[in-house]
Structure 1
Amino acid sequence: MLFADNGCAYHVYPFMSMPPLTPGSQPSMRLLVTGAAGFLGRVMVREARAAGHEVWAAGRHQPAGSQALPIDWDQHPEVLAGHLHEIRPDCIIHGAGSASVAQSMQSPHEDLRASFGTWSHLLEAVRISKLKPLVIFPSSAAVYGDPESLPVREEAPLHPISPYGWHKMLCECLAREHHDHFGLPVVITRLFSVFGASQHRLLVWELFDRFRGSGATVDIDGTGEETRDFLSEWDVSSALLMLASKRDTFAQRGTPWIFNLASGQQRSILDMAHAIGAGLQSDKPIRCLNRKRPGDPLHWEACTERLETFLPEWRPLAFPQALQQTLHHWTQESTARTA
């Protein structure tokens, strides 16, 4: 199955189930993951396969031996609806879309197309198909903007301060529309600051790259006192798979579910930089440039009570462990490239 977005070819291909799951683990599901070439999509495909699920992935790259079927985001959603009938997924995790506040400030129309456009296309295809898979939409803490108080709860007012945040909020509204009017089971997860070994962009990677680079200092754009709520890619994927396994519960609920997906602890960017430097055993000095980037909030910290109550079995990795695993992986990658 082939997708095209912004002139890029996408393929949908099956990853078949792993060996039978061990007793007591979650039953196998059939998952469709869109945006499989992106950071979150790649993580979800990998972790879902490892957990023994049957995974269909929509991404830019087609593995050898797989068979592609033509479709793109600009075609009528009926084409995708037909493929949904072929796949009949239990759950769809929508990893496709935009992923950069800075780029949304430069190209807001393109961000809207990549975010709202692909999401609208997918929801319409599901509606036409008359299937009722659980659809999980990874939204963003950017919908909160600069929260009025911390930790921010899911009921807090939404005040985006970037086109990226506005478009995520519009996507959430569209999810509610399809839930309220067409009975589609939808879960919205608001991701805060996700990092991990599969990510080669954004703050944690940029700091790692600056420590490893030839520059005399590690520069931080802001004051360093800005805070974020960091969560590893492994914790995000495990939470999403646990939510997917509860699709029958969500189908019975009268309103869409919204969860903050975060650690529930804020850390300053300067503290993160020091932790990365210590992990790399680097004494390179850190310099704060005191420049505020448009669209970036000052402080983030999530209230995670709702998620922890709904998923009491979810246990995030300790932050030092998650960061060290990430740094170790990136260091090995860098060493292999220069060898």
Structure 2
Amino acid sequence: MSKESKAIVTGGAGFIGSHLIEKLLSKGYEVICLDNFDPYYSTQTKKRNVELYLKNDNFTLVKGDIRDIVLLKDLFCGVDYIFHQAAQAGVRTSVDNPMKPHEVNATGTLNLLKTALDFDIKKFIFASSSSVYGQISYLPFDEQHPTFPVSPYGVSKLMAEHYCRVFSELYGLKTISLRYFTVYGPRMRPDLAISIFTKAALQNSSITIFGDGSKTRDFTYVDDIVDANMIAMHKGKGEYNIGGGHSISIMDLADTIISVTGSTSDIVFKECIKGDAEHTLANNEKAKRELDWKPMVTINDGIRKYVDWMISQNK
């Protein structure tokens, strides 16, 4: 890797993006963080995520939106890699407002791809989601599983994947789509289950589960996600599952967090929310075979790491 290698991380002030920037800077890359600091969750949290990098000469913070093509053209000169992490997140949010995820996740991705064609970009690495699968035909999901999203968020991510594929096939732009399975870890979004459950458990307050707790998720620790992105710069094309490879029920997740924290929290149940997938579980064989990637952090170890981090933040 030459010292001149430059990368853009869209959504770089967010959870996954900030971890990816940390890794890139540690490897000597010049990094542009593009983030619009959308108030979907605390902008102060996002500012703290990148605060330490501001002193690094290889780091540039740009406040801007991926829907602004004029801005993108100004930023792309000399860039080698694009890590597209920016998105309007939230399955449940997308059910209430389907227009915004379409504009950001689909149209925004198209803007980035179109701009990338005008520059000598080596690789476009897209953060997709297991939400593209949606309706279950079989488990675990492999990349050949039918894609039948059950939320506007899932639809928008699938559209973005198709744009990546078409730009690769039609125009020769090297692209790869990494289908993340429920990422967690330090700095994670406050609206995700592990974050909500852990905060409640540390306060010994009630943990709320929507539904009966039988839904299952394949949780993936953020370090494993970052490793997959770093590998994807030089290997692979098309779509890849990037998941923990093991599922856990929401009930068992809550019980595990209560146990790890030594909490006295009780569990309460509320009506299931529309748009939530029933189950997710990744078949990672394609990523193992073609990217030489596999998850290294188990759910139990990951939860302990996250709880330790949460406790350190509250001291």
Alignment of structure 1 residues 93-172 onto 2, 5 Å? 93-129=83-119, 131-172=120-161
The match for 1:294 is 274
Structure 1 residue 313: Cα displacement: 5.6
- Structure 2 residue 197 is matched with structure 1 residue 207: yes
- Structure 2 residue 161 is matched with structure 1 residue 180: no
- Structure 2 residue 43 is matched with structure 1 residue 43: no
The match for 1:322 is 302
Correspondent of 1:260 among 198, 216, 241: 241
Give CA-to-partner distance per residue, 1:269-310, whole Å, 9 cap, x none: 111111111110113222333x22111011111100011112
- Structure 2 residue 182 is matched with structure 1 residue 193: yes
- Structure 2 residue 31 is matched with structure 1 residue 55: yes
Structure 1 residue 93: Cα displacement: 0.5
Give CA-to-partner distance per residue, 1:154-205, whole Å, 9 cap, x none: 0111100000001111111111121111111000011111101111321100
TM-aligned CA distance change 1:292 to 1:180, over 3 Å: same
Secondary structure of the 1:128 match is coil
Task: Supply the distance in 2 between the matched residues of 1:174 and 1:52 (Cα, whole angstroms).
Answer: 30
The match for 2:230 is 241
Structure 1 residue 133: Cα displacement: 2.0
TM-aligned CA distance change 1:200 to 1:314, over 3 Å: same
Contact 1:146 1:300 in 2 (8 A): no
Secondary structure of the 2:17 match is helix
TM-aligned CA distance change 1:302 to 1:236, over 3 Å: same
Structure 1 residue 70: Cα displacement: 8.7
- Structure 2 residue 6 is matched with structure 1 residue 30: yes
- Structure 2 residue 71 is matched with structure 1 residue 91: no
The number of aligned residues is 296
Task: Supply the distance in 1 between the matched residues of 2:223 and 2:20 (Cα, whole angstroms).
Answer: 9
Secondary structure of the 2:82 match is strand
TM-aligned CA distance change 1:209 to 1:128, over 3 Å: same
Secondary structure of the 2:224 match is helix
Task: Supply the distance in 1 between the matched residues of 2:101 and 2:284 (Cα, whole angstroms).
Answer: 28
Structure 1 residue 214: Cα displacement: 5.8
Give CA-to-partner distance per residue, 1:112-134, whole Å, 9 cap, x none: 112112211111111123x2320
| Residue ranges of structure 2 left out of the alignment (5+ in a row) | 38-46
Task: Supply the distance in 1 between the matched residues of 2:204 and 2:258 (Cα, whole angstroms).
Answer: 14
With the length of structure 1 as denominator, give the TM-score of the two structures: 0.81
| Residue ranges of structure 1 left out of the alignment (5+ in a row) | 1-25, 251-255
**Matched AA of 1:218:** I
RMSD, aligned CA: 2.3
Structure 1 residue 137: Cα displacement: 0.6
With the length of structure 2 as denominator, give the TM-score of the two structures: 0.86
Task: Supply the distance in 1 between the matched residues of 2:20 and 2:61 (Cα, whole angstroms).
Answer: 21
TM-aligned CA distance change 1:326 to 1:71, over 3 Å: closer
**Matched AA of 1:164:** Y
Secondary structure of the 2:258 match is helix
Structure 1 residue 239: Cα displacement: 1.3
Larger Rg: 1
Task: Supply the distance in 1 between the matched residues of 2:65 and 2:114 (Cα, whole angstroms).
Answer: 14
TM-aligned CA distance change 1:71 to 1:173, over 3 Å: same
TM-aligned CA distance change 1:235 to 1:70, over 3 Å: closer
Secondary structure of the 1:138 match is strand
Task: Supply the distance in 1 between the matched residues of 2:62 and 2:286 (Cα, whole angstroms).
Answer: 40
Contact 2:244 2:295 in 1 (8 A): no
The match for 1:269 is 250
Give CA-to-partner distance per residue, 1:289-337, whole Å, 9 cap, x none: 3x22111011111100011112336451232222111110011212x3x
Task: Supply the distance in 2 between the matched residues of 1:70 and 1:111 (Cα, whole angstroms).
Answer: 19
Structure 1 residue 47: Cα displacement: 2.1
Contact 1:226 1:269 in 2 (8 A): yes
Correspondent of 1:224 among 207, 213, 218: 213
